[in-house]
Amino acid sequence: MDRPRAIRREIEAQLGYELSRTLGDIRPSYEFDVTCQGSVPEAITAFLESDSVESAVRLAISLGSDADTQAAIAGGIAEAFHGGVPDAIGVEVLARLPHEFRDVIAEFGRRFGSRLPINR
């Protein structure tokens, strides 16, 4: 079974989001929209067209507008779907965070499990 296709059908059925447009259809006229209905379907589409966490983030950013939010949504879905963030990305991201943030992430990982390379 094509898992992304099944995910698309389930989201459309459960949430009523229209996910038939491709990113190529969305990009030319996409504008900032603070509503869930105007931003979440586009982020989900970025995930559905991706083949990795990095790809999902890049595709979401390619929409422009509220790129950080779109990338966070698409990347979060892709992380769950693909089983985590690749180590190379995790190491680079963690290296850029303040120590206080890394401490919070490490504590979260101890409590709930994490694949992030916190102590490398």
Each residue's pLDDT tens digit, 28-45: 999 888 888 889 999 999
pLDDT of residue 120 exceeding 80: no
Domain of residue 65, residue span: 3-84
63 and 119 together in one domain: no
67 and 92 together in one domain: no
Query: pTM for the complete prediction?
Result: 0.84
21 and 61 together in one domain: yes
**Any residues with CB less than 8 A from the CB of 20 and at least 6 apart, and which?**
none
79 and 97 together in one domain: no
50 and 37 together in one domain: yes
Each residue's pLDDT tens digit, 70-110: 999 999 999 999 988 888 998 898 899 999 999 988 888 88
76 and 112 together in one domain: no
Lowest mean pLDDT: which of 7-11, 49-53, 92-96, 115-119? 115-119
* Interatomic CA distance for residues 81 and 71, integer angstroms: 15
30 and 43 together in one domain: yes
- What's CA 5's distance to the chain center, in Å? 17
72 and 91 together in one domain: no
